[in-house]
Structure 1
Amino acid sequence: MEYVDYVTARIPALRRLAYLLAGDEHRADDLVQQTITTLYVKWRRAVGRRDGHDPGCRVALPVTGSGRSPQSAGP
């Protein structure tokens, strides 16, 4: 799957999750933009995942929204 196809298909779900995290439509859009930009940079690695792209996106979105790095986003 190509990056553009993936993002086009997943944008609605990512926006819903971002809205739940941010509580504000504009902030949610910012979170989604940051997340899909990060995904673009790491796309080759994401494509190689056995569990698909979604888990990485679902982790990146909350991490982006929290202002923490993925390394500090522990339990």
Structure 2
Amino acid sequence: MITDISQLDRNKKYTYADYLTWRLKEAVELIKGKLFILSPAPASWHQKIAANLVLKIGNYFDGKNCNMFFAPLM
């Protein structure tokens, strides 16, 4: 049983059956057999601070000729 990400070969292709046997702390996903380690989700305290900042800054810019973005854009 795989319990640590270091036990996996990042260059190997894996199956869904492999994935089901893993007991990892990290969030991972398989795309066409390739392993991707996901970024950890922000903690609740981080989300609360970010939400408060977005509200305050957003209210300041309300009605002004500009936009505020708080996430990466493409």
TM exceeding 0.5: no
Higher strand proportion (structure 1 or 2): 2
Higher relative CO (Cα under 8 Å, sequence separation at least 6) belongs to: 1
> Which TM-score applies when normalising by structure 1?
0.33
> Which TM-score applies when normalising by structure 2?
0.34
Higher helix proportion (structure 1 or 2): 1
